[in-house]
Amino acid sequence: LIRFLSSVTSLMLNETRLPNEAFLAFRALIWFLSSVTSLMLIKTRFLTEAFIAFRTLIRFLS
């Protein structure tokens, strides 16, 4: 992923005809990756909290 981002950046720097479109695509890619990462973090945090609650419920019932 890092190699891909660096190659995209070097392509952006070398490109002179369409710098604005390349910049917009790069920014959209960054926004997409950050939103996916935040969604994954929120989901894993929710799953851990649900697992902790479930484990406490099991311990309370037994």
Read off the pLDDT of residues 28-59 as tens digits, 9 standing for 90 and up.
Answer: 888 888 888 888 888 888 888 888 888 888 88
- Which pLDDT value is given to residue 30? 84
Range of the domain at 47: 2-61
Total number of domains in the chain: 1
- Which pLDDT value is given to residue 12? 63
Read off the pLDDT of residues 1-19 as tens digits, 9 standing for 90 and up.
Answer: 677 777 777 776 665 556 6
Q: What is the DSSP string of 22-61?
A: HHHHHHHHHHHHHHHHHHHHHHHHHHHHHHHHHHHHHHHH
